[in-house]
Structure formats: structure tokens, C-alpha cells
Chains A and B, each alone.
Chain A
Amino acid sequence: MAPPAKRARTLTFEERLARLEEIASELDAENVDLAKALSLFEEGIEHLRSAAAELASAEATVQRLVERADGTFGVADAE
């Protein structure tokens, strides 16, 4: 099971891949019991599914950095 902090927000594609790598390594360890292995595997499958969904949906966007008068920043669509 991932630490709660990781569960709390949506992981990036990169973080999901990293977590998958971690899970695979944990599974490779000698002393993982079967129940733990299954829950790790399920978590991994979930990451795979989410990452694939993310990959299918996202598009490149072009924006422009805008500095507001109060010194904060925003982005505006460039096109």
C-alpha cells in the first residue's frame, strides 16, 4: 500500500512509473507474503490503468506566463 501522502493527491505519470518500479522490486523480494504480494499487484494494476487513461486523454497545451500587479503569476492561453 502506498503511503497516505501519495494517495492523497493524483500522482503524475512519472510518479506512477516510479511507484510501479518500486512495487515490482518489492514483489521481487524474498520475504513478501502472498496477501501482501497480491495487494501490491493490485495497486500496480491500478497505477497502470490510471497512467494509461492519463496518456489517452492529455494533449499538449501552449500558454503564456502572466505576472500580475501583486507579483503573483498566472498562465493564459497563448492561442
Chain B
Amino acid sequence: MNPSRRRGAPSESGSELELFPAAEPPASRVVEEPLPNYRGAASYPGETAEAAIAVSTLTETARDILEGAFIPVWVRGEVTDFKAHRNGHWYFALRDSRSQIRCVVWNRDQRRIPAPPDDGMLVAAFGRLTVYPARGEMQFTVVRIEAEGDGLRRKALEITRARLAADGLLAPERKRALPRFARVIAVVTSPDGAALHDIVAVIRRRRAQVRLVVVPAAVQGDSAPQELCYALDQINRWRGADLVIVSRGGGSREDMWAFNNERVARAVAACYAPTISAVGHEVDLSICDLVADHRAPTPSAAAETATLSKTELETELRRAGHRLRASIAAKFSADRDHLRHAARDLVSAGVRQTSMRRASLERVSGRLHALSPVATMARGYSVARGSDGRALTSLSQFTEDMPFDLVLRDGTVPAKAWPRPRSEPAP
């Protein structure tokens, strides 16, 4: 295969490589050709044809010598022929305009590499030079890869993001509202990191009434993804928190890389309680930030968002008190109005009643008046009344010398019945 014909191959002028210049290879030395011995006593293996060594001895010895001669180094070159093999290992070649070297990344070393590199990518690979005896080839065993222009991390982020998006984990409608009054807040972070320090300081300053429960996890280094996942899993089994903050302070891109890990992101998404992600500073956007229900620019901001200050709580309470008093006052004033209306109705009803009564009274008294003897007496009649008050209307009711009253229009006159004249016939 002719490397110069391949896609993205550097031209002879090497213009593409200037972005990523290779160190000059050491000038090849001219060594005088030794003359072989064929026979005779050999002072070392392989000195004579009779003492020829096996191929495997050669390659294995070469391997031992190479491995002993080279400490691990970073090597710059262009990736070609990348293959992720079924056996889980990655194979590719690194090359520049003059040379190439076969490379392998063992399965177990891949988790330290953000993403598999693409053909044509200019990378720096860190590893150890060895010999692959089965093929008799030099092989560079790679354990770290950094791509020019952060290409590998960008690619890794794109891959992870696409995978999470495909599962709907980045959908805006997944975002849950944070509780307004979180009482117990789980904080997944390093127990002695800057993030925890900042969060505690904010909560103390605000005199927020919360319990912070720290769930320790490494937030950088190889074990960080696993520890973060484990801490989130513990929280899911504990179920004691109203809110979960996943946080770490600022740092290098590499330091914060665990928060771009797909497993960590999925663990955040799987959290039963609403989550706040606060990783690094304002400018650092992590995959965790995309998956969490809320993204805070800093750990301090997460603490501000997660809690209400005592002052805010007092304001809330005062508002509730006002509302209650206003409601009861409105209720009473409504009832007072009802009462006032009722009283007015009652009075006017009473008034109506009275005037009706007065009218009927007048009617009745008119009739009484018409029937009254007083009116008759006014015309000059008078009534005789006995001592028992009964009207005396017949002669038989009188006896001699009986006193009686004569009731006139304007008063009563005492009277007495005189003896009856003889001339009158007795009844």
C-alpha cells in the first residue's frame, strides 16, 4: 500500500504536517558491514551458522531489548488503517511522510482514551515500543491518545451526546422542576474538594434550613466515573434526598472528563430525585450538565439555586400570613355587609308592617266608632247604668230609691229612682 495515495496523506511538501511538525529523525549512521562466520566455536548464540538461533529467539530478544531501551514516549503522527477488532482491541498505524509504525490499544486501556481516533486524524499517542513476535514487527502499544485541536474529545462528546439523545435523555421535557423547599440535599462530590467547600459556605451564609448529605466520590482520575456512578446508585437506593447536586470545582479539561462519561451521564439521568449539575466554571459545559434537570454554572450557584435563604423563607411566611388575614378579613366584612343588609331589610319590613297595622287599626276604629254609643249620646241620648255597670234598659230593672248612673255625652251624673206615681198602672 502506498501511504502517499491515501486520504489526507501529507504531500511531499509536508504542508499538512507543519500544523503538527514531527521531530527530525536521527540521521542514519553508516556502520561497517560485519563478515559472517560459518563454522567454528561460537562465543555467543548465532555467531556461526551452526549456532543459529530460532526466529522466536530473535524476535523475543529484539522485544526485550526494545522494551528495555525505550521508556514510554509520546509519538506524533497521522492515524491510518484504524480497526476496532472483534477481540476488543484497536489496531492502526501512525505515520508521517517517511515512516509508519503499527499501533495497538488493548481493550483495557481504551477507557482512558476519549474516543477511537479516525483515519487521517493527527494525534499524539503515548505508549511503549515493542516487537510483536508473531509477525516480527515493531509495534507501538498505545495507552493514551490526544488529537490535534482536541478532535478526539470533541468526537467523544459528539458520540456520547448522540447516544444520549437517541435515548431521549436530553429532551427538554425530561427536565424536572426543582423542589422549592429542599430539606435534604445529597451532594455527590469529593469530600475535600473546593466544590463542597463552596456549597457549604453558601448554605451557611444563607442560613438555609437544609441537611446536606455528602456522598463521596472521586471527581477526577481513572476511578472517577465508577465512583460517581456508585455514589448516584447509593442515592437511588437510599432515597433520602429531595434533591441531588453532582459537582466538582474548576480544573483542566482532562480533570473534568469524568463528567462527560456516558455511564455517569446515564446515572445522573436515572436519579429518582431532581438533579443539579455544577461542574467547573461557567465556561465548562459537560455531558452531565446536559442530562441533569438543572445546570448551575458553579458549585456556589448550585447551592444558591437549591436552597431558599432564611430571609426568603421569612418573606414566604409573611406573605402567607398576610394572605390568611386578608382572607378572613374579607370574609368578615362580607358577613358584616350581609348583616347590615339584613338589618335594613328587617327595619323596612317592620316599618311596612307598622304602617299596614296602623291603617287597619284606623279602619277598625272607624267601624267601632260608628257602632259606639258615644256617638249616639253625642246626639243627645243618655244611658242609665246600674252599680254593676250594666245598662238599665227596662222598668223592671229599677226599684224605689235605687241609685244609678246616667251616662251622658261628656260625663256621668249620679241619679236615683224616685217612687213611681200612683196613677200609673203597675206592670
Contact = CB atoms under 8 A, between A and B. Distances in A.
A17 B316 contact: yes
B207 interface: yes
A17 B317 contact: yes
Interface stretch (B34-42, B47-55, B283-291, B327-335): B327-335
Contact of B213 (A21, A37, A40, A63): A63
Contacts of B324: 20, 23-24, 27, 41, 44-45, 48
A28 to B, nearest CB: 5
B214 A20 contact: no
B214 A62 contact: yes
Given A51-B317, A64-B216, A21 B323 contact: yes
A48 B328 contact: no
Contacts of B209: 13, 54-55, 58-60
Interface in A32-54: 32, 34, 37, 40-41, 44-45, 48, 51-52, 54
B213 A65 contact: yes
B28 to A, nearest CB: 62
A25 to B, nearest CB: 8
B276 to A, nearest CB: 17
Interface string B312-332: 011011001101101110111
Interface residues of A, number: 36
Interface centre among A17, A44, A62 (most CB of B within 10 A): A62
B181 A73 contact: no
Contacts of B342: none
Q: Describe A's contact surface by its main secondary structure.
A: helix
B208 interface: yes
A4 interface: no
Given A27-B327, A28-B330, A45-B324, A62 B183 contact: no
Contacts of A65: 186, 213-215, 234-235, 238, 240
Contacts of B310: 55
A49 B56 CA distance: 88
A66 B235 CA distance: 11
B214 A64 contact: yes
- In terms of DSSP, what is the predominant structure of the interface of chain B? helix
A28 B331 CA distance: 7
B191 A27 contact: no
Contacts of A64: 191, 213-216
Contacts of A25: 327
B200 A62 contact: yes
Given A14-B180, A28-B327, A60 B213 contact: no
Nearest to A43: B324
A14 B317 contact: no
B85 interface: no
Nearest to A44: B324
A14 B181 contact: yes
Given A60-B210, A78-B214, A55 B238 contact: no
A55 B96 CA distance: 69
B320 A32 contact: no
Interface of A: 12-14, 17, 20-21, 23-25, 27-28, 32, 34, 37, 40-41, 44-45, 48, 51-52, 54-55, 58-65, 67, 71, 73, 75, 78
19 contacts: A13-B209, A17-B317, A24-B327, A25-B327, A27-B324, A27-B330, A28-B330, A28-B331, A37-B332, A40-B328, A44-B328, A48-B324, A58-B209, A61-B212, A62-B214, A63-B213, A64-B213, A67-B234, A78-B212
